[in-house]
Chain A
Amino acid sequence: GEDVEQSLFLSVREGDSSVINCTYTDSSSTYLYWYKQEPGAGLQLLTYIFSNMDMKQDQRLTVLLNKKDKHLSLRIADTQTGDSAIYFCAWGFNKFYFGSGTKLNVKP
């Protein structure tokens, strides 16, 4: 599979912004995705970005893509306790590969 690296843990206070990073080694996909996994639940698609874009904003979520450095980030504004989960970046077309996941902990 493709190597997709993420930082393992992130802890923020409620109301702060969270930034989750993802570095990948292959760039053949048309889209890049962010998924959220809450405890005991399946994966939920949060947002995606087209590979020709640098930035996409979707309510509290901002996705930045730096194709030159193969770096993707997800910024969550005004982070809430309900945002506590594991976040995975994902990449692919006919097959999808997932990053190692970042566990976000939001403290009240």
Chain B
Amino acid sequence: SAVISQKPSRDICQRGTSLTIQCQVDSQVTMMFWYRQQPGQSLTLIATANQGSEATYESGFVIDKFPISRPNLTFSTLTVSNMSPEDSSIYLCSVRQGGDTGELFFGEGSRLTVL
């Protein structure tokens, strides 16, 4: 199974600022995803981070608000831009490895609080 490290694990941010979350995987993976989990809610897929090309965003999420980089097969970043209190959430990086079952592995998440 993949080991995923996210930084920061938590942060308190001011309204209008931007924060970049880093995701490092201990092995090369084809598919990386970013999810958001708002307080008391389920996980919502933000985007698929594509290596060497622009991320693929889900409905309701746009690149200007959530720019994503994926420079190689082990690393990705998610930026939450121009934050508002509604962006207070846990942001989770996940990877899907090959093999028969292809399950998702998750990092511990980055808990952001926007004041």
Contacts and interface: CB of A to CB of B under 8 A. Distances in A.
Interface stretch (A39-47, A57-65, A67-75, A77-85): A39-47
Interface residues of A, number: 21
B52 interface: no
Contacts of A44: 106
Contacts of A33: 103-104
Given A33-B103, A42-B92, A100 B108 contact: no
A45 B45 CA distance: 17
A61 to B, nearest CB: 15
Q: How large is the interface on B (under 10, 10 to 19, 20 to 34, 35 or more residues)?
A: 20 to 34
Contact of B42 (A45, A94, A101): A101
Contact of A42 (B45, B59, B107): B107
A32 to B, nearest CB: 11
Interface in A92-108: 93-101
B115 interface: no
A45 B104 contact: yes
Interface of B: 31, 33, 41-45, 48, 58-59, 92, 94, 96, 101-109
7 contacts: A48-B101, A88-B43, A94-B48, A95-B33, A96-B33, A96-B96, A100-B42
